[in-house]
Amino acid sequence: MIGLADEEKPQRSALLVLGCPQVPVQTSIALYLIHRLRQAGITPVVAGNRSAITLLVVADPKRHYLGEALDLDRAIDQITEKKRDFDLCFVFIHNDAGVSYAATMGVISRARLYALIYGEHYDELVASIEFPCQNIAAKAVHNPMPLKKILDEVAPWAA
Amino acid sequence: MGCIEELPYEVVLRGGSFKECRDYVRKHFRESLDVQPGFKIFDTHIIGIPPISIGLDGDFVIFPFTKPCHGTFLLRVEDRAEADRLRKRK
């Protein structure tokens, strides 16, 4: 059987849906995840509100990691209107709004859905998720390491 | 897309969870319909956990509006055309 050479394989893409940047670990984990996705040959695209995107842009001024960044509402419009979709979708969740965004992505997108759940009350948020997705959850507020550890164990970039 | 924030809205409920907003609509409005996330209301794709309940009260439309940093608000907007459009979908 003749396989496609690596350069002929269609490039996979991933959407990172950022939540409110109020919890410090979000920006750190987002940059780390972007790095791991790129290493795996997956093109990362980030969607978020202005503050969440600006935190990434300032932290990565030469765009070593960060690639395309979209306004969150615009990303939702494009996916809902079937103008665009992704292979993987990671939704950052530390509040009820994050759960709503994840549920929305589960309906409008065909991407494999991952919920990155963190913050002081992460366990309550995990319990509130009743739709199909893979949870990557840890009590992480200022220190990203507990969430990074779980993320590395799941290794969604290798799936 | 449209911009809900530019509409002349009233806040019916704030600080609640998405589920509380859904329960409020079902309990307080005789007329309601359920839609899926991404459904367009006031020219904006609605965000939420399905099913999303929208209330109708005469010319008023009552619906959840979610923003990443502020959570979900239940808003009430008077718009006869939008209320009629939604009523036809029931």
- The complex's ipTM? 0.94
Query: Which SS3 state, helix, strand or coil, does residue B15 take?
Result: strand
Query: pLDDT digit string (tens) for A85-119?
Result: 999 999 999 999 999 999 999 999 999 999 999 99
Q: How far is B64 from chain A (nearest CA, A)?
A: 11
User: CA-nearest residue of chain B to A93?
Assistant: B68
Domain presence at residue B1: no
Where are chain A's structural domains? 12-158
What domain count does chain B have? 1
Domain presence at residue B53: yes
Domain presence at residue B3: no
User: What phi-psi label fits residue A45: left (phi over 0), alpha (psi between -120 and 50 degrees) or beta?
Assistant: beta
> How would you write the pLDDT of chain B (90 residues) with one tens digit per residue?
458 888 899 999 998 899 999 999 999 999 999 999 999 999 999 999 999 999 999 999 999 999 999 999 999 999 999 999 999 987
Out of B38, B69, B70, closest to residue A108 by CB? B38
Domain presence at residue B2: no
Domain presence at residue B38: yes
Q: Work out the burial of residue A39: count CB atoms within 10 Å of its CB; fewer than 13 is exposed, 13-18 middle, 19 or more buried.
A: exposed
Say which CATH architecture domain A12-158 belongs to: 3-Layer(aba) Sandwich (3.40)
* B37 vs A contacts (CB less than 8 Å): 103-104, 107-108
